[in-house]
Structure 1
Amino acid sequence: MSKRAIIVVDLQNDYFASGKLPLVGIDAAAANAARVIAAARASGDPVIHIRHEFVRPDAPFFVAGSPGAQIHGSVQPAEGETVIVKNYPNSFRDTPLKQALDVKAIEDVVIVGAMSHMCIDATARAAADFSYKATVVHDACATRDLAFGGVNVPAAQVHAAFMAALGSSYGTLVSTADYLSR
């Protein structure tokens, strides 16, 4: 039995072009995530989908029950795959994710999804804190432009900064091609 699971974080409609908060590079990231998911299914690795919902009806995106909160068609869960709803950036916080991994004796988690600077970061750090071997497939993740202190930070720089931080202490970073060639 495999000791590896794929965690697909927040690849939901609101992050795509017709959604409320489109991300830079989301289509390419989702296509790469779909390739990782397909490989996991072929090898029998569990795939766990994480879906963020805000519980407030005035939320800016991912409103519970809305089409924008649904998982995008490009990475739809297969029958029998676990879908976990979360309300915080950290996919482990107040969810059954850790129990779902532990019941299958998972040791390695492979993380794909969105947003690099928020939920991918929080989930990868938590996975490492729980002693899972974390791998982030960096080109199967997407983010958006940010601003701070009057400085606009392009999505590519946001993504690079967060991947650099994760790779220095919290996990392994690989491209989709490198992951699939293993």
Structure 2
Amino acid sequence: MSKKALIIIDIQNDYFPGGKFTLENSEQAGTKAAQVLDHFRKIAQPIIHIQHISVQEGAFFFLPETEGAEIHNCVKPQENEAVILKNYPNSFRKTSLDAELKKLGVDKLVITGMMSNMCVDATTRAASDMGYKCTVVHDACCGASLEFDGVKAGSTEVHAGFMASLGMFYAQMVSAKELIG
């Protein structure tokens, strides 16, 4: 029998206004992620929070033991919800995430989080490659503005590009409203 789990990636204080790496649309994405979290709590499905702790030299946000690294109040974990710490964009790399999902008998993932263009992307691709069936709640995620080779892309465009890319092969894309239905 198939079982699904909610994965909430890096919805942490530093991404919100006043944080060290504020993302445009973080409050809106956080609100949608909170709605999805509430839905999973009501249907009693597994919930796993992913918390990034930056340990790489030169890191300036998500620093260990700072308020910015704490999970944001909009998706604050309850005592019975797993919190997995990570140090890389891919939530599976050098963490217990895969073992935890296997222990729970999970083969389907519903993914929310930040940033669309980094940790959500890396985790979704890895999960799909590992055989998990992925659904990304696109409006419960947000990205950062980027620039490459003189071309600037705003956060909305970056987010759309990454969601479109993931949706081509790695995941089904749904809105929070569609998921909760």
Shorter-chain TM band: over 0.9
- The 2-side partners of 1:57 and 1:72 are apart by 24
Partner SS for 1:71: coil
* DSSP 3-state at the match of 1:30: helix
1:131-157 Cα distance to aligned partner (Å, 9 max, x none): 111000000001111111111101111
Structure 2 counterpart SS, 1:125: helix
Q: Deviations over 1:11-70 (max 9, x none)?
A: 000000010000010001000000000000110111100000112475210001111000
- Matching of residues 133-172 of structure 1 within 5 Å: 133-172=133-172
Looking at structure 2, the residues matched to 58 and 155 of structure 1 have their Cα atoms a distance apart, in angstroms, of: 23
Question: What percentage of aligned pairs have identical amino acids?
Answer: 48
1:45-60 equivalences under 5 Å are 45-56=45-56, 58-60=58-60
Measure, in 2, the Cα distance between the counterparts of 1:154 and 1:142: 11
Q: CA deviation at 1:2?
A: 6.8
Structure-2 residue corresponding to 1:13:
13
- Computed over aligned residues only, the root mean square deviation of the Cα atoms, in angstroms, reads 1.2
Return the letter of the residue paired with 1:80: N
Give the C-alpha shift of residue 109 in structure 1.
0.3
The CA distance in 1 between the partners of 2:166 and 2:59, in whole Å, is 28
**What TM-score do you get using the length of structure 2 for normalisation?**
0.97
Q: Distance in 2 between matches of 1:82 and 1:178?
A: 25
For residues 168 and 54 of structure 1, the distance between their equivalents in structure 2, rounded to whole angstroms, comes to 30
Question: Which residue is equivalent to 2:61?
Answer: 61
- 2:37 maps to 37
Q: Measure, in 2, the Cα distance between the counterparts of 1:39 and 1:176.
A: 10
Opposite residue 3 of structure 2, the aligned amino acid is K
Contact 2:84-2:97 at 8 Å conserved across structures: yes
* Contact preservation (8 Å) 1:127, 1:134: yes
- Give the 4+ runs in structure 1 shifted more than 6 A: none
State the match for 2:84 in structure 1: 84
Counterpart position of 1:70: 70
1:112 partner SS: strand
Q: What's the offset of the Cα at 1:107?
A: 1.0
Shift in CA distance, 42/2, structure 1 to aligned 2, threshold 3 Å: farther
